[in-house]
Amino acid sequence: MDSNLSRFTNPKGSSCSATQNLYVANCGPAVGISFEDIKSFFSTFGEVVGIHVADDSGTRVIVCYSELTAAEAAFRTLNGCHCGALGGRILHIRYSILQLKQKVNDNDSLFVSLVSSELAIPGIHLVHDFITSEEEQELLAAVDSKPWKNLSKRRVQHYGYEFLYEVNDYPPGIGLSPHIDTHSAFDDMICSLSLAGPCIMEFRKYLLGSCLLRKAIFLPPRSMLLLSGEGRYSWHHYIPHRKVDIVQGKMIRRCSKRVSFTFRKVRSGPCKCKFSQYCDSQKDI
């Protein structure tokens, strides 16, 4: 269900030329219908090669067939009809046009891991329920009692060295740009505790400016993410800027607030890691 190389538009009206891709409204995770159920149902008309999120609402999807005749059959049979297999919902369908795009779309259906073993990046570990609900409320009350420093899209509080950005407050929809924490500034281990709201963190492996690999993991409230070794030194980490995340076919809206505690130790001396192509300490060696 990956749409990295394409995007879809929905022509107004049903009189446009038929295509292999159907825009289906009143159908999706927000109304309790998973991608798996959608694919199973629409596969009765022919081979479905992809199910894609049409927008952030979670109520509209793009169904892609391998054959035009299958899309036409599904359109004729289902448009405007009650579908008992999909909760009795009335589907509103249009043909959708596939267009090439030049860059990765943050809203595509990248598979999202729930545990770090699924992510399979050396050095990245996620610990669920690292603190209790009571401890979470105590920490949130503590940071809210102190002044925040406003950045361009989020707020921070500093503890110790100001460069650390150790507490971040994320309004809904605001994420974090892809980056690797500076090698020369911080030691190997970086820990990040998520409070209040959930989000997806994506990891990207780049070579010569191009993204080679993309993986993502779901960070629930009260979880602790540990970054070390390869995962810390050579993978960019990133929180997409959006208000709705799709996690294994389910729509999860971001809360009105998310706070992260990020713990780093200041490095003494240059970094000597084995990931020299990403290391600012070893650029001139």
In this predicted model, what pLDDT tens digit does every residue of 87-127 receive, in sequence order? 888 999 999 876 544 444 444 568 899 999 999 999 999 99
> Distance between CA 134 and CA 36 in Å, rounded?
37
> Distance between CA 12 and CA 62 in Å, rounded?
15
> Which helix or strand (DSSP H or E) is residue 6 part of?
strand 6-9
Can you give the pLDDT at residue 134? 96
Give the torsion sign (CA, 133, 135, 141, 147): negative
Map out the domains of the chain with their CATH numbers. 6-100 (3.30.70.330), 112-268 (2.60.120.1520)
Can you give the pLDDT at residue 285? 52
Q: What is the mean pLDDT of the chain?
A: 81
- Residue 233's CB is within 10 A of a number of other CB atoms, namely 21
- Residue 16's CB is within 10 A of a number of other CB atoms, namely 13
Give the pLDDT band of residue 5 (cuts 50, 70, 90). very low
Q: For a pLDDT cut of 90, what percent of the chain falls above it?
A: 38
Can you give the pLDDT at residue 255? 79
Tell me the two tokens of residue 235.
């993978």
